[in-house]
Amino acid sequence: MTLLRRDCLALLGTLIATGARAAEESASNARDFSFSKPGESGVLPLADFSGKPVLIVNTATACGFAGQLTGLQGLWTRYGMRGLTVIAVPSPDFGNQEPLDGAAIADAIRQSHGVTFPVVDKTHVRGPSAHPFYRWAAAEKPGQTPQWNFHKYLVGRDGSLRAAFATQVEPNDPRIISAIVAELGSA
């Protein structure tokens, strides 16, 4: 590869990264983000859930908190018909407790925990390689970022970040239920 071509490619990469950062910094709410679906099946834009609350949870199949998937399914079953969406975001960031990739993750949690809500592709949720949604959420809720698997973010009907819940807060915790019910009742 010629030096000129390498320089052009480096410049192009910088421009793309700068554009992505600029778009991220100008994001006004969660609806401005999308997650990749497992494999090559496209993206899941959060804009698809406009006017509905969304609970976004970083997950891991080999985590000691994986039992919370059953509780998350319970929320989806109980409140999904009223508009709530739950989205699992598998992450390798905490002890690499997500050893699977692609559709194998969704298959595993469906078989083990009966999950029927959306599961996106394995995604980084912290550090410099964190998904843009997670960088935005960190700016919106400083100090309330994922410290381990099963951190929960509640996105409101209007796309704002309404609440963050630490790993230890179970899906059936009254704080989560109250926040979800408040969002569902704000129609």
Question: Average pLDDT of 58-67?
Answer: 97
- In this predicted structure, what is the pLDDT of residue 41? 78
- Top-confidence residue, 25 or 179: 179
Q: What is the pLDDT of residue 28?
A: 86
C-alpha 173/C-alpha 105 separation (Å) is: 25
Average pLDDT, integer, range 48-65: 97
Q: What is the mean pLDDT of residues 55-75?
A: 98
Over range 63-67, report the average pLDDT.
Answer: 97
User: Average pLDDT, stretch 42-60?
Assistant: 97
User: Residue by residue, what is the 3-state secondary structure of 140-185?
Assistant: HCCCCCCCCCCCEEEECCCCCEEEEECCCCCCCCHHHHHHHHHHHC
21 is a domain residue: no
In a domain? residue 9: no
In a domain, 67, yes or no: yes
CA 164 to chain CA centroid, nearest Å: 12
* Residue 6 within a domain: no
Catalytic residue IDs = 63
178 contacts 186 by C-beta, under 8 angstroms: no
Q: Is residue 110 domain-resident? A: yes
Q: 62, 45, 151, 42: which is closest to 103 by C-alpha?
A: 42
Distance CA 126, CA 139 (A): 12
The model carries a pTM of 0.85
Average pLDDT over residues 91-100: 96
Q: What is the mean pLDDT of the chain?
A: 88
Which CA distances in Å does 55 have to 13, 100, 158, 179? Answer: 33, 22, 13, 10
pLDDT, tens only, 160-174: 999 999 999 999 999
User: In the structure, what pLDDT confidence band is assigned to residue 156 with cuts at 50, 70 and 90?
Assistant: very high
- Work out the percent of the chain whose per-residue pLDDT is above 70: 84
Average pLDDT over residues 135-144: 95
Mean pLDDT within 97-118: 95
- 1-50 pLDDT, tens digit each: 554 444 444 444 444 443 444 444 456 899 999 999 997 779 999 999 99
Domain span at residue 55 reads 29-184
Domain count, the chain: 1
Q: Is residue 122 part of a domain?
A: yes
Residue 45 domain-assigned (yes or no): yes
**Percent residues over pLDDT 90 in the chain:** 81
Tokens in use for 50? 């406009």
What's 123's DSSP letter?
-
CATH of residue 37's domain is 3.40.30.10
Position 161 in a domain: yes
Residue 26 has a pLDDT of 54
Average pLDDT of the segment spanning 57-78: 97
